[in-house]
């Protein structure tokens, strides 16, 4: 009996040690995981929360609820912009990027795999309440398309282009419209990082004159246009417009597949918070970026797909509880996007919730001693109402 007591004491000390380990460092989570492996019968949490299948093309219903890993160098290449800020922090903390495979994304993947590139581009709209995972589902899709070698045209948050913009210039191309040099140049930089390899392959099909001294000849690679936009910030907006126009025109030819991914597409048809110097409000279509983007999400081209999300977070002049398509898009937006496939992204179902908790536990994110008990899980379920965003925020405190 004394021996038993001793072993029990030792195992308890081990456990305490593990706890200390977790508190002190975030280094080598694999070690800790291995430690835990020895302590606890481990096949259930791993199988529930993770899958080793890291190619989105092979994700299917059997992977539903499981997290798959995106290698970190892929992350930089595919998502120079576009991941939600809290997720970026999580990636930095855990030192790995794992996305959960969920039904809406699986559904979209299925449609995309069966895309008929000769038909006009189909529009898919992800909608749902705040914090349910629309942006991350979009990122899942983008990862898939990047792996399949599509050209990704990703606008991470269209709301950024309709609010808080300084330095609006009158457009040189069309006097009625306004340029946004800062936003355009930032976007061009990120676009270049994401699609490096295409920029030399695609050639522009007409000559563009920037000013008296500079012009881009017909047949030169698209990368030149992008460079021009990045270096000469004044022409950045026009550069964006040209990029969009060329891509739209050429995707139909079949050299590449084009994915247009816009997060917060309802910004294109809402109101802006921007005003001119005489304090008169600016309508979205008077902004050259918005005007050109609207042309991109119409279905008068083929050779790709258009995936959009509606987002109330960051939108202007929309009530907080609004999430349904017609509420956020308005009449004009709905009529422009019609016909589209609406895909609802909802809160976690029990399996996904369990998987998420397991993932956090594995990464030692939940330090509270009751976190892994049934009661603790029930409490978290109740508090977060299975809303993924809310759960993430709650777990950040534990």
Partner 1 sequence: MAAAVFPAWLALQPGARTLRAFSTAVSPATRAPTPSPRTTERTSKYERPLRRKALPPRTEKMAVDQDWPSVYPVAAPFKPSAVPLPVRMGYPVKSGVPMTKEGNLELLKIPNFLHLTPVAIKKHCEALKEFCTEWPAALDNDEKCEKHFPVEIETADYVSAGPSVRNPKARVVTLRKTEEWEKNKTEADMEEYVWENSSSEKNILETLLQIKAAEKNLEVNKEELLGTKEVEDYRKSVVSLKNEGDNESTLSQYKESVKRLLNLT
Contact between 253 and partner 1 by CB under 8 A: the answer reads no
Q: Which stretch binds partner 1 (CB under 8 A): 43-51, 67-75, 338-346, 359-367?
A: 338-346
In the bound complex, what is the minimum distance in angstroms from residue 125's beta carbon to partner 1?
10
In the bound complex, what is the minimum distance in angstroms from residue 298's beta carbon to partner 1?
9
Those residues whose C-beta lies under 8 Å from the C-beta of residue 244, and which sit 6 or more positions away, are: 153, 292, 293, 295, 296
In the bound complex, what is the minimum distance in angstroms from residue 260's beta carbon to partner 1?
16
In the bound complex, what is the minimum distance in angstroms from residue 130's beta carbon to partner 1?
16
CB distance 306 to 123 below 8 Å: yes
What tokens does 11 get? 């195992």
Query: Would residue 20 be called left, alpha or beta, if left means φ above 0 and alpha means ψ between -120 and 50 degrees?
Result: alpha
The count of chain residues that interact with partner 1, using the rule CB under 8 A, is 23
Contact between 320 and partner 1 by CB under 8 A: the answer reads no
Query: Would residue 231 be called left, alpha or beta, if left means φ above 0 and alpha means ψ between -120 and 50 degrees?
Result: alpha
In the complex with partner 1, the residue whose CB is nearer, 221 or 342, is 342
In the bound complex, what is the minimum distance in angstroms from residue 54's beta carbon to partner 1?
26
Contact between 300 and partner 1 by CB under 8 A: the answer reads yes
In the complex with partner 1, the residue whose CB is nearer, 119 or 276, is 119
Contact between 338 and partner 1 by CB under 8 A: the answer reads yes
CB distance 93 to 276 below 8 Å: no
CB distance 259 to 146 below 8 Å: no
What tokens does 334 get? 């709905």
Alpha helices by DSSP H, listed for the chain, are 2-24, 29-39, 43-49, 72-78, 85-94, 103-113, 134-147, 181-194, 196-201, 222-231, 236-251, 288-296, 325-337, 350-362, 374-384, 388-397
In the bound complex, what is the minimum distance in angstroms from residue 337's beta carbon to partner 1?
9
In the bound complex, what is the minimum distance in angstroms from residue 249's beta carbon to partner 1?
15
Strand 178-179 and strand 169-170: pairing?
antiparallel
In the bound complex, what is the minimum distance in angstroms from residue 145's beta carbon to partner 1?
17
Distance CA 23, CA 67 (A): 24
Q: Is 165 helix (H, G, I), strand (E, B) or coil?
A: coil
Site string for partner 1, 95-134 (x = CB under 8 A): ---------------xx--x-x-xxx-x------------
Out of 172, 342, 372, 394, name the contact with partner 1 by CB under 8 A.
342
Rounded to 5 degrees, what are φ and ψ at 288?
-60, -40
In the complex with partner 1, the residue whose CB is nearer, 21 or 334, is 334
Contact between 341 and partner 1 by CB under 8 A: the answer reads yes
Contact between 339 and partner 1 by CB under 8 A: the answer reads yes
Q: Rule CB under 8 A: which residues touch partner 1?
A: 110-111, 114, 116, 118-120, 122, 299-300, 302, 324-327, 335, 338-344
């Amino acid at each position: 009996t004394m021996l038993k007591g001793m072993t029990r004491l030792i195992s308890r000390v081990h456990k305490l040690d593990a706890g200390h380990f977790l508190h002190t460092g975030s280094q080598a989570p694999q070690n800790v995981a291995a430690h835990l492996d020895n302590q606890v019968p481990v096949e259930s949490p791993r199988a529930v929360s993770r899958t080793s299948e890291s190619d989105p093309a092979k994700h299917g219903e059997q992977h539903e609820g499981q997290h798959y890993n995106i290698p970190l160098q892929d992350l930089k290449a595919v998502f120079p912009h576009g991941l939600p800020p809290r997720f970026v922090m999580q990636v930095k903390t855990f030192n790995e990027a794992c996305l959960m495979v969920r039904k809406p994304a699986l559904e979209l993947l299925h449609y995309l795999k069966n895309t008929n590139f000769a038909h006009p581009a189909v529009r898919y709209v992800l909608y749902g309440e705040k914090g349910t995972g629309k942006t991350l589902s979009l990122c899942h899709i983008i990862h898939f398309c990047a792996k399949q070698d599509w050209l990704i045209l990703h606008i991470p948050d269209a709301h950024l282009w309709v609010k808080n913009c300084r330095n609006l210039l009158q457009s040189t191309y069309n006097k009625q419209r306004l340029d946004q040099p800062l936003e355009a140049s930032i976007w061009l930089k990120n676009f270049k990082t994401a699609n490096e390899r295409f920029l030399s392959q695609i050639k522009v099909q007409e000559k563009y004159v920037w000013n008296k001294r500079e012009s881009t000849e017909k047949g030169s690679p698209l990368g030149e246009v992008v460079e021009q936009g990045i270096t000469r910030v004044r022409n950045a907006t026009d550069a964006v417009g040209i990029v969009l126009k060329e891509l739209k025109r050429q995707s139909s030819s079949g050299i590449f597949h084009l994915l247009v991914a816009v997060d917060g597409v309802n910004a294109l048809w809402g109101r802006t918070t921007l005003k001119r110097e005489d304090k008169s409000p600016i309508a979205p279509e008077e902004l050259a970026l918005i005007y050109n983007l609207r042309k991109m999400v119409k279905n008068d081209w083929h050779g790709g797909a258009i995936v959009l999300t509606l987002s109330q977070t960051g939108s202007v002049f929309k009530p907080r509880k609004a999430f349904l398509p017609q509420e956020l898009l308005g009449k004009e937006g709905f009529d422009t996007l019609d016909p589209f496939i609406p895909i609802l992204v909802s809160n976690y179902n029990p399996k996904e919730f369990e998987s998420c908790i397991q993932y956090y536990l594995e990464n030692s994110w939940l330090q509270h001693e009751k976190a892994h008990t049934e009661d603790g899980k029930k409490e978290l379920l109740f508090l977060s109402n299975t809303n993924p965003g809310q759960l993430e925020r709650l777990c950040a405190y534990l």
